[in-house]
Amino acid sequence: AQSVTQLDSQVPVFEEAPVELRCNYSSSVSVYLFWYVQYPNQGLQLLLKYLSGSTLVKSINGFEAEFNKSQTSFHLRKPSVHISDTAEYFCAVSGNTGGFKTIFGAGTRLFVKA
């Protein structure tokens, strides 16, 4: 069985400050890991993903996440946030041998203040 824990339900931060959204997972098999972003009244969009290879993965809008197998974590970071980054962020995991459904965390609401 797999599970995902997002340790913070809300993260307020000032514009241009750094931010880290924390995610831990548990799984009995090797995994793929994802971060999704959701803007109000919209579906989820994939932000970045880890499948294999380099443990540091990056998105086109400045977010990055590092897969840490020993700590079973996949924290999301951005060195300088913008007002437009205000959204809800979901961490997710699926087994990497195929046939597994994706399990989502409860979400972290990032609120960027001016």
How far apart CA 90 and CA 88 sit, in angstroms, is 7
Of 81 and 105, the one with the shorter C-beta distance to another protein is 105
Are 44 and 35 spatial neighbours (Cβ–Cβ below 8 Å)?
no
How far apart CA 80 and CA 63 sit, in angstroms, is 9
How far apart CA 74 and CA 64 sit, in angstroms, is 10
How far apart CA 36 and CA 44 sit, in angstroms, is 6
Least separation, in Å, of the C-beta of 26 and another protein? Answer: 17
Least separation, in Å, of the C-beta of 48 and another protein? Answer: 11
Of 85 and 90, the one with the shorter C-beta distance to another protein is 90
Least separation, in Å, of the C-beta of 95 and another protein? Answer: 8
Of 32 and 111, the one with the shorter C-beta distance to another protein is 32
Provide the binding-site residues for another protein, judged by CB under 8 A. 9, 32, 34, 36, 41-46, 49, 51-52, 90, 92, 94-102, 104-107
Of 6 and 73, the one with the shorter C-beta distance to another protein is 6
| Cβ within 8 Å of residue 5, ≥6 positions away | 23, 24, 25, 105
Least separation, in Å, of the C-beta of 78 and another protein? Answer: 21
